[in-house]
Amino acid sequence: MKIVLVGYMYAGKTTVGKRIANMLNFSFVDTDKRVEEICLQSVEEIFDRVGEEYFRQKEREVFLSLLKEDNIVIATGGGLPCYKDNMNLINLYCKSIYLELSPAQIFSRLNKSNNIRPLLKNIKSEDRLEFIETSLQARESFYRKADITLSALSINKEELEKRINELFRRL
């Protein structure tokens, strides 16, 4: 069993993914972190030095290699499900969870964060909400293919356990 978390930046995929992995005693991998380990550079450095397209290829390679593993929870970067046929592969081989947040909620988390992701870094603060709205709209059709959707704002332990059981019942 492989569980994959998808959703926009700042949805909390890593935090929730780790909690699910702990609950199930599964291993946990964050695709961004794995790419950084392989490339020996931060995601930001990869975007700056070799560009987004190279990063997309690397994150796909990482994802494909993780398909060989089992009993694993995978937190994906926000763009991964929207590149090539990644989302179809996710649903073919894994159970998927969309962590949903509205553009306003994403914007509010971004403003509280001290880690401004590369895609947002070069966008003026006053234009960021609009960028989030437009890019989330473009990405949502991919995210919505996930097996279940969870509101990223209200994830308590009971709700999480209930929804994970739901995923297992769908096996």
Q: By C-beta, is 3 or 43 nearer to ligand S3P?
A: 43
Burial state string for 59-74 with b = 16 or more CB within 10 A and e = fewer than 16:
bbebbeebbeeeebbb
SS3 158: helix
For ligand S3P, give the closer residue by CB, 110 or 164. Answer: 110
CA 2, CA 73: separation in Å to the nearest integer? 6
Residue nearest to ligand S3P (CB): 77
Residues that bind ligand S3P (CB under 6 A): 9, 13, 32, 43, 77-79, 117-119
Rounded least distance, CB 22 to ligand S3P, Å: 19
Q: Least distance (Å) from ligand S3P to the CB of residue 103? A: 13
Closer to ligand S3P by CB, 144 or 162: give it: 144
- The DSSP element (H or E) to which 21 belongs, if any, is helix 13-24
State in angstroms the smallest separation of the CB of 165 from ligand S3P. Answer: 26
- In angstroms, give the least distance from the CB of 9 to ligand S3P: 4
In this complex, which beta carbon is closest to ligand S3P, that of residue 79 or of residue 103? 79
Rounded Cα distance between 18 and 29, Å, is 9
CB atoms within 10 A of CB 50: 14
**CB nearer ligand S3P, residue 77 or residue 103:** 77
Least distance from ligand S3P to the Cβ atom of residue 7, Å:
7
Per residue, the 3-state secondary structure of 60-99, as one string, reads HHHHHHHCCCCCEEEECCCCHHHCCCHHHHHHHHCEEEEE
